[in-house]
Structure 1
């Protein structure tokens, strides 16, 4: 871990040294003593002592630090270069954090957007002078842009943070600097250009980094995706199981403030590994069970393959890194009880570890919600009569088992949130399995007479 931190420190230092040197050279055509002072005494300490420290506090960041830090740095670097040229060829009012904060907020969340606004403000305040006013001016605009970029689900709505941020930027520029009516068109045009640039570059940033915005996730959730079409053709039972899971997890996620879009789209893809050997899974079987002809250990290995092969497909098709996590974590390290019990009956004397899924156990709330939904849906499918009392008992037994097995230790769910998840899923299941009235039979002769008249 220590070596990894040192390596990251070297990479970050080189990144900002190059970007800062490019900035200075473009603006002043030379590297001055002021550049060395700003870089070594101000920029690097701000990055390591404030920004990088705060980034490491984020739970999701800890899952994939390289993906998230690469995304953060890439967007910051592009934003700095764009604004350096805006400063050089237009004027000071053209500098705006719009591209940086909106893109990072969309791809990550408001917390990362806040940090990007903080760093952007520090960077340009010491690059072009007047540190306090410039920092407050850029930081406030960035925070406004990040705040109004939360929960944007379509590209059209990106215009909302653009308009609001532009209006505030014009007002703040007049407050902090000077009343210059030639400045507001420059601010508006610069912000418009950066908004259009976001629309064009966002899909490519998502594909490169595998860190997707909600907009990108919704586009990915198109059921015509090659992996989903293959799943529907090869494993129709698994495909419809995935659609049911999507309904269960979405409402549960909304109840506790998790990401419903990530969970819905992740549910579509969580069992894509089953498309390779569909007949080994009960929902795709039609009277014949191939597990009856092989030993329990081999059955366990085949079931593990749907997780490992699913992960391989996720990497091959560049699915979001968090959806890859959902694929490998939705079974955690649970034991396949049916095959373990069968092994005990055959006196094979095998360790229980042989029958565990590869895991790991859920590391974030969305993965735990998917695990709960996957298990409760399987239980419901085996019930002949679905009643609220039986469902509640099964749900309570499931949660108790997951706690005893340590599957919920690292996901961050509280007991209150589990209660909300339970209530939401039970309501969804009961609504999907509601009873219908029995339609009376009408004699065919009467129907013919009605149709004639």
Structure 2
């Protein structure tokens, strides 16, 4: 058993090492897509590797979220690489004022974790500034990334995303104005307006993109989970019709679990959603569960062999997983059903 655990840890360590090399290489190439220079590419590759092994790998190894399911890692990597490509294209086409630097970090923060969102922002802003040999660019880009991701920690509604975008816009403008006496940007009034509005429109884009990512990956943010965890969801309505006792039980469990999670600082939105759907498999055979019986005399288990009763009761777990997949419920809920 110990040998197997050690072997899995070694394989995981090697996987992280290979991931870092591949991510660093792709981002370096993306940054040098328009003006490919071997020396710049090599320098950026080394810089990203240093950040990866110095910061991100530590978070990955100690994160319960990123190792929860392989889809979390894939989402983190894909969003990070997509953000790098988007930033390069926008910068080369329109200039520094238009770089949507906060989009990828905000998405990662909402769907994965704050530490990974901030780390992604550090890689994107530092590699972009390093590519253009401009440290002042980093002082403009990273503060808005840090503020936007920090403000989205444990966010539960879209208003908080909008607020994060607004405050990031103010920070972005202030950082440029503070550099003006030293740099002499010679920006027009239009440029300053763009610098302020860029994070705001980026946050609007995040709100618009988020549902599509959630539906596609089944990895939900707290915003999506809050929408799922309402009694108006079609699946919960079906549960209330076919298994009213189970439905009332689930509501009560969700209420108690939510209060307990809040008292210890856990994710109450996730806990409530999982509690509401944990017995969703009882939709298929509601009459075999005591909470749905009108009287004890109607209990069908009284006439069944023990092994058959056991199989029927246990089957509500596999039925629940199947229903969760069929209805594309969040992966967090699917993995909580057997618990």
Structure 1-normalised TM-score? Answer: 0.66
Distance in 1, matches of 2:49 and 2:328, equals 33
What is residue 136 of structure 2 aligned with on the other side? 133
8 Å CA contact retained: 1:110, 1:146: yes
What is residue 149 of structure 2 aligned with on the other side? 146
What SS does structure 2 have at the residue aligned with 1:60? coil
Match of 1:243 among 234, 240, 251: 251
Distance in 1, matches of 2:157 and 2:132, equals 35
Q: Deviations 1:117-138 (Å, cap 9, x if unpaired)?
A: 22223321222222x4333443
Distance in 1, matches of 2:32 and 2:251, equals 54
Q: CA deviation at 1:161?
A: 0.7
Unaligned 5+ residue runs, structure 1?
A: 330-453
Q: CA deviation at 1:160?
A: 0.5
Distance in 2, matches of 1:298 and 1:39, equals 63
Q: CA deviation at 1:239?
A: 0.8
8 Å CA contact retained: 1:93, 1:173: no
Distance in 1, matches of 2:142 and 2:60, equals 17
8 Å CA contact retained: 1:70, 1:209: no
Q: Deviations 1:112-155 (Å, cap 9, x if unpaired)?
A: 2222222223321222222x433344322211111222343222
Match of 2:71 among 64, 67, 85: 67
Match of 2:38 among 17, 33, 40: 33
8 Å CA contact retained: 1:96, 1:138: no
Distance in 1, matches of 2:258 and 2:195, equals 40
Q: Which has the larger radius of gyration?
A: 1
Distance in 2, matches of 1:235 and 1:84, equals 54
Match of 2:242 among 223, 229, 234: 234
Distance in 2, matches of 1:41 and 1:19, equals 11
What SS does structure 2 have at the residue aligned with 1:186? helix
The 5 Å alignment of 1:223-372 reads: 223-287=231-295, 288-329=298-339
What is residue 58 of structure 2 aligned with on the other side? 53
What is residue 121 of structure 1 aligned with on the other side? 125
Aligned Cα root-mean-square deviation (Å)? 2.3
8 Å CA contact retained: 2:254, 2:276: yes
Between Structure 1 and Structure 2, the one with more helix by share is 2
What is residue 100 of structure 1 aligned with on the other side? 104
What is residue 156 of structure 1 aligned with on the other side? 159
Distance in 1, matches of 2:153 and 2:58, equals 23
| Cα separation, partners in 2 of 1:153 and 1:299, compared to 1, 3 Å | same
Mean CA deviation greater in 276-285 or 187-196: 187-196
How many residue pairs get aligned? The number is 324
Distance in 2, matches of 1:78 and 1:223, equals 36
Distance in 1, matches of 2:241 and 2:108, equals 37
Q: CA deviation at 1:194?
A: 1.7
Matched, 1:82 2:90: no
What is residue 210 of structure 1 aligned with on the other side? 218
What is residue 48 of structure 2 aligned with on the other side? 43
What is residue 344 of structure 1 aligned with on the other side? none
